[in-house]
């Protein structure tokens, strides 16, 4: 473990926080915690991604276990279940470092079943676990305006609520671990489907001779307007350099929702259509583009000769 020599304002009495996973979202979360005067330890598969945070006062650790042993509360934010297994399992993983009474907070989006299984393994160590998936983009993580959904050990929640309120403008405890994850999937269903429907509407207007800027303005200020569309609508004019949520991650969440819906015997027809369009985006090589690229996919479909099979989606 290598502590940085950079001075950091630290408020005595606050819990020491560990962050495992310093990618697009995890890095912003760690940065936000540093900016609020917390002592933060962290690790990431690729250390280079952590260098800016180390310059701001992050204490680097070589393994997730070292982060866990250094912190009072450990947070993980990784891309999927496989990545979570990699950072929690094995002799250098989070579980190996957890001590009775410690709190583990996973902010990743995984399936409710996987979350329930992990919570059981954490409980076996004597530590407490909470799932705290987030709704919001990279900018929201940077400025502390995430919406955070929390589920798990009710006795542990008051201990981490002050930390979560540094990261989110809304923090809601919803019950069990899997309930938080289920609600996160429900949110992302609507995010993908709304973006697809909005893109369809803008494309219809533009191909009918209406300026795209004008169509965006009218639609976002109409009855269908929402905070999500107001924030993301302009990205149809100027795509972000770094995806707020990319096609691959969104499709991962939709597949989790579809699998969960199958187990619960719940129909998700619009989710299935959105998943199919994300398949078309991947076929174009857009997996790391923001989901607003769905507009371009639809535009490509509109321009394709009738019967073209290469877009992965067939229009009526």
Segments forming the whole domain that contains residue 57: 17-175
The Cα–Cα gap between 18 and 80 comes to 19
Catalytic residue check, 184: yes
d(CA 308, CA 310): 6
Q: What mean pLDDT value characterizes the chain?
A: 91
Residues 144, 252 within the same domain? no
* pLDDT digit string, tens, across residues 100-146: 999 999 999 999 989 999 999 999 999 999 999 999 888 899 999 99
Decide if 235 is inside a domain: yes
What count of residues does the chain have?
316
pLDDT at 9 over 70: no
pLDDT of residue 138: 85
First to last CA, the chain: 59
CATH number of domain containing 155: 3.40.50.720
Is residue 4 pLDDT above 60, yes or no? no
160 in the same domain as 33 = yes
Mean pLDDT of 74-84: 94
Tell me the helix, strand and coil percentages in the chain, rounded to 5. 55, 15, 35
Task: Please give the average per-residue pLDDT across 173-177, as a whole number.
Answer: 95
Q: Is the pLDDT of residue 311 over 70?
A: no
187 and 269 belong to one structural domain: yes
**31-59 burial by CB neighbour count: b if 16+ within 10 A, else e?**
bbbbeeebbbbbbbeeeeebeebbeebbb
What pLDDT was estimated at residue 32? 97
Give the CATH number for residue 233.
1.10.1040.10
Task: Check: CB of residue 234 under 8 Å from CB of residue 240.
Answer: no
Q: Is 205 part of any domain?
A: yes
CA distance 88 to 224: 42
Q: Which of 148, 175, 202 corresponds to the end of one domain?
A: 175
The pTM is what?
A: 0.87
Lookup: tokens for 119 = 């919570």
Distance (Å) of CA 28 to CA 78, 124, 147, 235, 295: 13, 31, 15, 21, 27
Catalytically annotated residue among 47, 49, 85, 184: 184
Identify whether residues 231 and 165 lie together within a single domain: no
Q: Which of 135, 155, 175 finishes a domain?
A: 175
Which pLDDT does position 241 carry in this prediction? 86
Number of domains present in the structure of the chain: 2
């Amino acid at each position: 473990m290598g502590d940085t020599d950079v001075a950091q304002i630290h408020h005595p009495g606050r819990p020491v926080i560990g962050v495992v996973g310093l990618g697009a979202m995890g890095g912003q979360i760690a940065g936000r915690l540093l900016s609020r005067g917390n002592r933060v330890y962290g690790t990431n598969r690729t250390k280079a991604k952590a260098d800016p945070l180390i310059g701001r006062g992050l204490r680097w650790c070589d393994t997730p276990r070292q982060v866990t042993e250094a912190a009072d509360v450990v947070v993980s934010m990784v891309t999927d279940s496989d990545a979570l297994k990699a950072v929690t399992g094995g002799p250098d993983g989070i579980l190996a470092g957890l001590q009775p009474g410690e709190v583990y907070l996973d902010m990743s989006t995984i399936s409710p079943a996987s979350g329930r299984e992990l919570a059981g393994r954490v409980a076996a160590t004597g530590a407490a676990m909470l799932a705290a998936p987030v709704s919001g983009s990279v900018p929201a993580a940077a400025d502390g305006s995430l919406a955070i959904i929390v589920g798990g050990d009710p006795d542990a929640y008051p201990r981490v609520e002050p930390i979560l309120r540094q990261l989110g403008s809304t923090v809601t405890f919803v019950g069990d671990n899997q309930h938080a994850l289920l609600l996160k999937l429900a949110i992302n269903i609507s995010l993908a489907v709304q973006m697809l429907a909005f893109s369809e509407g803008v494309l219809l207007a533009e191909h009918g001779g209406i300026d795209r800027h004008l169509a965006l303005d009218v639609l976002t200020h109409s009855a269908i307007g929402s905070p999500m569309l107001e924030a993301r609508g302009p990205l149809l004019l100027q795509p972000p350099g770094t995806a707020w949520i990319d096609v691959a991650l969104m499709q991962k969440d939709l597949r989790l929702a579809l699998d969960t819906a199958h187990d619960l015997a719940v129909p998700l027809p619009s989710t299935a259509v959105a998943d199919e369009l994300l398949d078309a985006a991947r076929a174009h090589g857009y997996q790391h583009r923001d989901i607003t690229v769905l507009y371009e996919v639809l535009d490509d479909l509109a321009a394709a000769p009738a019967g073209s099979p290469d877009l992965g989606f067939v229009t009526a």
